Amino acid sequence: MNYPITLYSPKDLSRLSAFLNANWQHDSISETVLREKLEGDPHWMPEATFICKDGDKIIGFMQGVIRDISETRYAYIKLMAVDEAYRRNGIASAMYEKLEAIFIEQKADVVRIYDVPLNYFMPGIDPRYTAALCWAMRKGFKRFGDTSNLLVDLNQNWDMSKKELALQANNIVVRRAKPDEEQAVLEFIKDEWLLWNNEVKMAFQDELPSIHIALLNGQVKAFSAHNANNKGTGWFGPMGTHPDLRGKGLGAILLKRCLQDMKEMGLSHSIIPWVGPIDFYSQIANALVDRVFWRYEKKLCSKH
């Protein structure tokens, strides 16, 4: 591999976005969202973000980040691509060797591909990217699961005002969160959903917070958010309900409030990413499985 690998620089942003869009057959990314994935990552690692060039032309890219989750140090390939005309020249492998050396130095336990909590673009490898799958397997990554993105047609009636009114008889109020309620929501999620901390903060960045809450006797007991990741693209989530209020239909109400928001933003569809309960979203929002992602990991603990 005779092409130089350098660190990403903000001056590369525009050309990098164009490069990714030209070489991702099933995805596209704006400069705004790409910046969100790079400098906007809560654990941004500029020293682990590589560009490979042929002269002035970008021909390869790979970004790495690290998260400490439940006493495990996870490393991630967050984004990557190689120019189609330059594949099978060892470019991805050369970038990954540099990345893995950093991960080992930082005492990471395992490396995963794409499914980066807090700030991610896709929750695994879309198997239609066959070259990426084969590369991952050659590098020692093992498939350990899969997940799906669902698609919702927003041209539906999302009004739940009658059910919201009925809940008030039980001292349950559902409404949009106010800008000064960010800390109250963060306090609510800290025990069960701490990994959603960054996404909740992102939802509160909007002029009208992209987050709806349910309060029982004035205390936050449930929430749903959108526009908290990949801003402007119609992504729903996260969402959570305290056990005290489960079984009362709040999930459906909060989901539909967010879908109505996105409809009013002029979006035609919403993406519900990294889904577990497909049946819930299918029944409540007529959501359809749109994409499937395979999840891969590689153990590093034996190397340090």
What angle do helix axes 278-285 and 250-264 make, rounded to 10 degrees? 60
Q: Give the predicted TM-score (pTM) of the model.
A: 0.93
Q: What pLDDT score does 304 carry?
A: 45
Walk along the chain (304 residues) and give the pLDDT tens digit of each residue: 789 999 999 999 999 999 999 999 999 999 999 999 999 999 999 999 999 999 999 999 999 999 999 899 999 999 999 999 999 999 999 999 999 999 999 999 999 999 999 999 999 999 999 999 999 999 999 999 999 999 999 999 999 999 999 999 999 999 999 999 999 999 999 988 989 999 999 999 999 999 999 999 999 999 999 999 999 999 999 999 999 899 999 999 999 999 999 999 999 999 999 998 899 999 999 999 999 999 999 999 644 4
Report the distance separating Cα 286 and Cα 279, nearest Å: 9
Q: What pLDDT score does 120 carry?
A: 96
Q: What pLDDT score does 255 carry?
A: 98
Q: DSSP letter string over 109-126?
A: SEEEES--TTS-S-SSB-
Q: What pLDDT score does 277 carry?
A: 84
Q: What pLDDT score does 276 carry?
A: 80
Q: What pLDDT score does 36 carry?
A: 97
Report the distance separating Cα 246 and Cα 62, nearest Å: 42
Per the rule left: phi > 0, alpha: psi between -120 and 50, beta: everything else, 95 is alpha
**Residues sharing a CB contact under 8 Å with residue 20, sequence separation 6 or more, in sequence order:** 27, 29, 34, 61, 79, 81
Q: What pLDDT score does 191 carry?
A: 87
Q: What pLDDT score does 122 carry?
A: 96
Q: What pLDDT score does 181 carry?
A: 97
